[in-house]
Structure 1
């Protein structure tokens, strides 16, 4: 398979799955193993193209991100301040930093992803079933307490397959936040969190790249950006009329199919 085709495939997978609750990391691990692109250079490539997905969110929510550079955004009594974002990302950043090495060493395999897909799907169904009354309809109404609680749920996403957006949206539903507001908040806090995580990974793994990898990175970055933007628009429209249940059932089906495939491959 050509480098261009690999870059396009992984870019599409990243763009489609980064912001919907199906786990982009889990999908890239599964697809990477499926097409034989799973060495150290592949891991660095996947980190780079996540920056393309981040850029798509910045473009989509440009008005809200511009607001973060004003004095108003530093007043914690205002809606969606810098402090609301910090409350949502500090818990997972702390735990992620402490457990980065064992997570990379033990959890990045098809079978751990399968476990994450199933567990994350169950969490989403529970959130839909037992979530509180939706008294927070807009992302600008989210409180610091709600933001911190959502941040705690985001820790689940450190296990590949759980899904960062799935974990955060589930936590938000438990806190009485509407699906649309939950998704908006999930996407916004993804930017600083993913940016820091990407830079940290790149600093530790840049040695695995060569000059020949720059072409693949460029292609994957552009594809991930374009597909992510379309996926964000579609997902927000989907949430206006549907629940997360469909994504949970998709995760169960993918987990079953993946288990069958990789088990048969191992036996052979």
Structure 2
């Protein structure tokens, strides 16, 4: 049964949580897929404040999966922390300044999603095919610390829906000489402070949307996103050790075209 107040069923909460966990760390745009799924389910992601808050909660579930996977490295590896902090600074500043604009103007904008899905797909295709011949670093800690700032700027671009935070940081990492696996791993690690701060900020702003009768829906989405993200991150690291990002680039372009055909008016 669809909740009268929330407009989301438990099955839809499960599907959205699964979709978030599967797509958050793949370079294919979780926001774009959630927006597309909401359209197909008849959910109003633009104007329903609970659904916006629900998306925040399932994103938190996905990011905690990475924290669980990399917990020991976060405790012991001070070198990677230097790069995380430097990369996070531009994202944190721009995110704080532009949060309202992104949420109120761009979130749920179908045209923006389509343009970014296709555009970043083309860019990822180019970077993977041509720049991987110039890779210089097979490990994140081999990358000079100042270069992490540039990856942070790439990540800031991903505040636009449809870009994909992981897509932007992977493109940025490979552009700066990281191998495919190192770029993916730094994307995962950088996601922890970035998404924790973003979701924490959004949760504080939307606390009034969470009521006692919504916790069941939130729990289903959160747990599903956590488990799906855990499996996806492990799989992706193995995949990019042996393969390229070309399938993801092509997929982005195809899904962007499908999105445009069916949902752009």
Instruction: Tell me if both proteins adopt one fold, taking TM over 0.5 as the criterion.
Output: yes
Once the two structures are TM-superposed, the CA of residue 101 in structure 1 deviates from its matched residue by 1.3
Match in the other structure for 1:88: 87
SS at match of 1:22: coil
Q: Deviations over 1:95-153 (max 9, x none)?
A: 12111111112212222111110111122122123426212101232221221121111
The answer on 1:156 being equivalent to 2:139 is: no
Are positions 1:99 and 2:111 aligned together? no
Question: 1:16-95 residue pairs with structure 2 within 5 A?
Answer: 16-37=22-43, 38=45, 39-67=48-76, 73=78, 79-80=79-80, 82-95=81-94
Q: What is the CA–CA distance in structure 2 between the aligned matches of 1:155 and 1:126, rounded to whole Å?
A: 21
Q: Which residue of 2 aligns with 1:76?
A: none
| Contact 1:127–1:171 (Cα < 8 Å) also in 2 | no
Deviations 1:57-79 (A, max 9, x none): 011112211226xxxx2xxxxx3
CA positional deviation for 1:156: 1.7
Where in structure 2 are the equivalents of 1:106-145 lying within 5 Å? 106-108=105-107, 109-131=109-131, 133-145=134-146
Distance 1:126 1:11 in 2: 31
CA distance in 1, matches of 2:220, 2:177: 40
Corresponding residue for residue 236 of structure 1: 237
Give unmatched runs, 5+ long, in structure 1. Answer: 74-78
Could you list the runs of 5+ residues in structure 2 that have no partner in the other structure?
Answer: 3-8
Residue 5 of structure 2 aligns with which residue? none
Tell whether the 8 Å contact from 2:56 to 2:202 is kept in structure 1 after alignment: yes
Distance 2:247 2:255 in 1: 12
Contact 1:19–1:231 at 8 Å: present in 2 too?
Answer: yes
CA RMSD of aligned residues (A): 1.5
Tell me the equivalent position of 1:210: 211
TM-score with structure 1 setting the length = 0.90
Would you say the 8 A contact 2:122–2:249 is kept in 1? Answer: yes
What is the SS of the residue equivalent to 2:244?
coil
**Contact in 1 for aligned 2:87/2:190 (Cα 8 Å):** yes
